[in-house]
Amino acid sequence: MHLKSCVFLAPLFSILLIPFVNAKLSIRGISENELHLYKPDSNGKWKCLGSEKTINFEQINDDYCDCPDGSDEPGTSACKNGKFFCKNDGYISKYIPSNWVDDTKCDCCDGSDESLVKCENTCKEEAKKYKRSLDEHNQLVTDGLRIRDDWIAQSAKLKEETLNKYNSVTSKIAELEKTKQDLQNTVKAIKLSSDSDSRSILANDLEEIKIDLYNLLDERNEYTERLNALENLLDEISLMYETEDFEATIKEAMDSWEDIRSQNVKKKVTSDKIHDDLKSSVTHLARIAKEEVTYFGFLKKIEKDFMEVYWNVKRSLIDFGILSPSIPATSIKNTGGFYLENVQSELSVTEDELEELQKEQVILLEDLQEHHYSWDNLYRFLKGMTTELTVGDYVYKIVFFENVLQNSINLGNFVEQKGNTLRYSNGQSCWNGPDRSTKVVVECGTENEIVSVLEAQKCEYTIKMKSPAACSTSQFQASLLENDYDYSDEL
């Protein structure tokens, strides 16, 4: 061919090749990022994306499903398992099932999925709705966090009050421990004093020994009850061994044992006290045997009467807070049985007060050490807070960290919290069924509100609710719009 003719025909061939080249550069239903996967080999063949099968490149989008994974028909509805890419300029790109293509229903906001009907481009309107929804969501999180921060501040005050109370109770316990020790030393000093009234002290010792024995019997009975309960649990486990209900029986037995173990047996008397009471009674019994009626016995009677008056006056001063109940051991001199009774009475009152303070100390310490994952700094303010919802004849009531009720029926007592899910179990037993239990799933909201109640299985409830307690900064959502145009003036 003449060179001049070749120069003339070159532009013409270029024009003829443009449609073929564009066809290779744009395949319906494929994103620009995936176009590199749709290239023929040197023989005009193409391998399916999800298998080793090879087809002619021209078979792509020929409205016949050749590849098992449907990758050859992204732009037709021939394959049920294929996917079609919606570019959706101005909105958010997405994939839809390829069998939705050309079904006369507009699924892509840009209408690219439909060639048989004309679809309006609604991407701008969809972007406005999305932006509005996104702003509303982020505003809800912002408002919820503001309320949550206020709850955290109030909870911190409650924690500080609890800590101050714990420190105060601990300080009082230390003071009472010292008072108790002083009074115990005084009792011991009275009993060892050679000037004491042996007959009165002996009578007192015998009374103390009687009380000690009663206390020992009480302790023995409590331990016997525990032993019997444990034996019953073991018998029940052995009977259910290798049965379908064995696992449930084990769990029930462990729960029962935890309840038994939590009921501490009070140590009412120590072996040292019994030993001291017996030793004192023997000492004064021997002393009485040697005593004779003398003039000094008459004086002791006068002294005893005087001491009774003295103690009545002192008791009044103590009751009015003028004198301290603490009695140093060094003040013992020429004392009698009446004096001993008063000191022991002081000791008994001190021990009772000490016991109550120690119980309070344990409760306060457990409160301070309680762990609630991401709600640690909210726990004290939320505990006991209630939320209700009426559904027909039922009133559902959630009490944070306590229980869940359906009218008067207990749907579970608080067991644990993980993330924004609270679990309540060991509620009232169902007829011919398990104990009721409830899972409370909490989502971010600006107020406490029960959204739905579902009994997923028999006597197992799932309650969804909203609360500022579940809000966190991680819930803020960034816009997925490529060009995040501000539609606020148009909304």
Angle 333-336-342 from CA coordinates, rounded to 5°: 100
CA distance linking residue 438 with residue 444, whole number of Å = 19
User: Domains plus CATH for the chain?
Assistant: 24-121 (no CATH), 156-367 (no CATH), 375-470 (2.70.130.10)
pTM here?
Answer: 0.62
| pLDDT average per 10 residues of sequence, the chain (491 residues) | 45 43 69 93 94 95 95 94 94 94 95 94 95 96 96 93 95 94 86 65 67 73 78 72 63 65 61 64 56 50 57 57 49 54 87 93 89 81 94 95 95 92 92 89 96 91 96 93 59 44
Nearest to 159 by CA among 481, 345, 167: 167
Under 8 Å between Cβ of 90 and 124? yes
Burial of 126 (0-12, 13-18, 19+ CB in 10 A): middle
> Which residues neighbour 30 within 8 Å (Cβ) at sequence distance 6 or greater?
37, 38, 74, 75, 85
Q: Could you report the per-residue pLDDT of 71-111, keeping only the tens digit for each?
A: 999 999 999 999 999 999 999 999 999 999 999 999 999 99
Q: Could you report the per-residue pLDDT of 194-239, keeping only the tens digit for each?
A: 666 666 666 666 667 777 777 777 777 777 877 787 777 777 776 6
pLDDT of residue 311: 59
CA distance linking residue 482 with residue 213, whole number of Å = 85
Secondary structure class of 126 (helix, strand, coil): helix
Under 8 Å between Cβ of 190 and 196? yes
Q: If you ran DSSP here, which 8-state letter would residue 429 be given?
A: B
pLDDT of residue 345: 87
Under 8 Å between Cβ of 90 and 102? no
- Please give the structure tokens belonging to residue 481: 């719009």
| Site of tokens 């029960």 | 450
